[in-house]
């Protein structure tokens, strides 16, 4: 079952067939946020290829997304580890073989879990860095030939965790800071080739795995700290995606589009309430100091 449906075409600000003839390549495309990004692109005329680790989940997502538009083509690319650039290169080759081209890339594959520094092992830290940061680099590396040929655009799914100190998210914050730096450098290096590179940094987005882990104080407590006084939706991220891939943003590159209702401006974190007491408990807990 998809998150978006045909109402998106009549109720959103975007015109139908905006991306007709275009192809989007999405890592993490079977996940919560990236899946809805893909749904919006397909509803607006694009074909898509979604990369995932789990065969059944990726196949099911591709089938559901393809059903959104009568003539849509959505290629499932399961069993692909973004940490392996050769696997991604094979996925790109299959995409081009079946869909003919790649115009847009969404690098959204990510790993996350809650862990305080005292109980976060070096291997666990490295795993998140490898998936989020190295995986993002590998994705663009594998797609570069197509992006250059078609003067394409890249969106990295980042976060606001590194804008201030967020406990239990050291690994993810470090990785996403690297993703922002990667995007900025690519915007400068690839700009002369006509390739644009930007980030979307979601804030508290409802009905996502990340939010379910971070919202330990409950949604109402989070909403109280959001200037716009509501949780974000996956459609909010999808609309930001459409904007950054559309001609409306043709002079926008090297930017980070924060979609968080103003949350980071007030330096509030879903994970940070009562953190001094909570952190002391974790540091006093046994089996800490993992290497």
Read off the pLDDT of each residue in 37-48 and give the average, rounded to a whole number: 98
CA 278 vs. chain centroid, Å, equals: 29
Percent of the chain with pLDDT over 90: 81
Q: In this structure, what token pair is assigned to residue 256? A: 């980070």
Return the closest-CA partner of residue 199 out of 248, 235, 154. Answer: 154
- In a domain, residue 178? The reply is yes
pLDDT given at position 261: 95
Strand order in the sheet with 47-51: 74-77, 47-51, 23-27, 104-107, 153-157, 196-202, 256-259
Catalytically annotated residue among 176, 197, 225, 263: 176
Assess whether pLDDT exceeds 80 at residue 121.
yes
- In a domain, residue 230? The reply is yes
pLDDT given at position 151: 98
H-helix segments, the chain: 7-11, 32-43, 55-66, 85-99, 122-129, 135-150, 170-190, 209-214, 219-224, 234-245, 275-284
Percent of the chain with pLDDT over 70: 89
User: Is residue 176 annotated as part of the catalytic site, yes or no?
Assistant: yes
Task: Determine the Cα–Cα distance for residues 270 and 204; give it in Å rounded to an integer.
Answer: 8
Using one digit for the tens of pLDDT, what is the confidence trace for 19-42? 999 999 999 999 999 999 999 999
C-alpha count within 13 angstroms, C-beta hemisphere, residue 169: 23
CATH classification of the domain holding 115: 3.40.50.720
Band of pLDDT at residue 44, cut at 50, 70 and 90: very high
Task: Determine the Cα–Cα distance for residues 268 and 220; give it in Å rounded to an integer.
Answer: 14
Read off the pLDDT of each residue in 181-208 and give the average, rounded to a whole number: 96
- In a domain, residue 246? The reply is yes
pLDDT given at position 252: 98
Catalytically annotated residue among 32, 76, 136, 158: 158
User: Is residue 158 annotated as part of the catalytic site, yes or no?
Assistant: yes
Query: What is the C-alpha end-to-end distance of the chain, expressed in Å?
Result: 42
- In a domain, residue 3? The reply is no
- In a domain, residue 88? The reply is yes
Q: 174: domain range?
A: 14-284
**Do residues 43 and 17 lie in contact, with contact meaning Cβ atoms separated by under 8 Å?**
no
Average pLDDT over the chain, rounded to an integer: 92
pLDDT given at position 286: 66
**Do residues 106 and 50 lie in contact, with contact meaning Cβ atoms separated by under 8 Å?**
no
- In a domain, residue 44? The reply is yes
- In a domain, residue 42? The reply is yes
Read off the pLDDT of each residue in 168-175 and give the average, rounded to a whole number: 96
pLDDT given at position 291: 67
Read off the pLDDT of each residue in 228-255 and give the average, rounded to a whole number: 97
Range of weakest confidence among 22-26, 189-193, 217-221: 217-221
pLDDT given at position 215: 63
Write the CB contacts of 92 (distance below 8 Å, at least 6 apart in sequence). 25, 102, 142, 143, 146
Band of pLDDT at residue 271, cut at 50, 70 and 90: very low
Question: How many domains are contained in the chain?
Answer: 1
pLDDT given at position 270: 45
Helix (H) or strand (E) holding 77: strand 74-77
Task: Determine the Cα–Cα distance for residues 120 and 283; give it in Å rounded to an integer.
Answer: 11
- In a domain, residue 7? The reply is no
Whole-prediction pTM value?
0.92
Band of pLDDT at residue 189, cut at 50, 70 and 90: very high
């Amino acid at each position: 079952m998809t998150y978006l449906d045909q109402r998106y075409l009549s109720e959103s600000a975007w015109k139908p067939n905006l991306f007709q003839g275009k192809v989007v390549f999405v890592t993490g495309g079977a996940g919560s946020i990236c899946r809805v990004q893909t749904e919006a692109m397909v509803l607006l005329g694009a074909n898509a290829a979604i990369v995932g680790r789990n065969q059944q989940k990726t196949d099911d997502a591709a089938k559901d997304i393809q059903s959104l538009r009568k003539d849509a083509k959505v290629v499932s690319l399961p069993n692909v580890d973004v940490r392996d650039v050769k696997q991604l290169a094979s996925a790109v080759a299959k995409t081009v073989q079946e869909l003919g081209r790649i115009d847009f890339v969404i690098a959204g594959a990510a790993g996350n879990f809650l862990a305080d520094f005292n109980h976060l092992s070096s291997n666990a830290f490295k795993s998140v860095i490898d998936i989020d940061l190295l995986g993002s680099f590998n994705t663009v590396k594998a797609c570069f030939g197509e992006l250059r040929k078609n003067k394409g655009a890249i969106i990295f799914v980042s976060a606001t965790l590194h804008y201030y100190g967020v406990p239990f998210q050291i690994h993810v914050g470090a990785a996403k800071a690297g993703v922002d730096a990667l995007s900025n450098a690519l915007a400068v290096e690839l700009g002369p080739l006509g390739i644009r590179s930007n980030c979307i940094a979601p804030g508290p987005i409802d009905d996502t795995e990340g939010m379910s882990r971070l919202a330990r104080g409950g949604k109402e407590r989070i909403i109280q700290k959001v200037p716009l006084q509501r949780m974000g939706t996956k459609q909010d991220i999808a609309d930001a995606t459409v904007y950054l891939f559309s001609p409306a943003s043709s002079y926008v590159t090297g930017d980070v589009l924060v979609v968080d209702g103003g949350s980071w401006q007030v330096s509030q974190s879903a994970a940070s309430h009562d953190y001094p007491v909570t952190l002391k408990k974790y540091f006093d807990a046994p089996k800490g100091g993992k290497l």
